[in-house]
Amino acid sequence: MTEKTIPVHADHEDDPVCMSRRQFLLAGGAMVTLAAIGLPGEAEAAPMHALKASYSRTKIASLSALKKGMPVEFAYPYPNVQNILVKLGTKAGGGVGPTMDVVAFNQQCPHMGGPLQGTYKDAYQALGPCPLHLTTFDLTRHGMVISGHATESLPQIVLEVQGDDIYAVGVQGLVYGYSAMTAKRA
């Protein structure tokens, strides 16, 4: 019986399938450069839009009744989906009202559904930390994660204003526990 010898330090420079360490590093560098400067012809690329699900237009509050830093709770788009409406006092992404500082977010943590009720911190315009794994969300920046285990932003309730009335018209992001943006609880 003949024994096969397996080379310990194989040189894959000419192997079309395997990459040598040098080739890997060069290819990685080229990808980083392309990511930084963009691909040729990419300058006119269409802008990206966040996914948004539309639901029935529902009045949730009045502008004149809101006080800065005093959150109001409301259910939308279903009775068991609890959200927070707050006047931040700072212009915010998705904000409505004369100073674009009124925003609304779902109150269930997108990580594993931890309850965020009562965790609004007006000093930072942040919601959290989540009692389960301590994620905190920035309400001035579409609910993006400041710190913690969650990897997705807090679902933002899309608002519109007509006169003094504030309406919820949709949800940007997927509410925890729902299998699709327009589906009922899974």
Q: Which residues bind ligand FES (CB under 6 A)?
A: 109, 111-114, 130, 132-133, 135, 148-150
Kindly give the pairing relationship between strand 120-121 and strand 165-172.
unpaired
Tokens of 106: 């779902």
109 vs 157, which CB is nearer to ligand FES? 109
Q: Give least dist CB 146 to ligand FES, A.
A: 12
Q: Give least dist CB 147 to ligand FES, A.
A: 10
Q: Give least dist CB 120 to ligand FES, A.
A: 15
The b/e string for 148-185 (b: 16+ C-beta within 10 A; e otherwise) is bebebbbbbbbbeeeeeebbbbbbbbbbbebeebeeee
63 vs 112, which CB is nearer to ligand FES? 112
Diameter of the chain by CA atoms?
Answer: 90
Cα angle 80, 86, 90; round to 5: 150
71 vs 114, which CB is nearer to ligand FES? 114
77 vs 110, which CB is nearer to ligand FES? 110
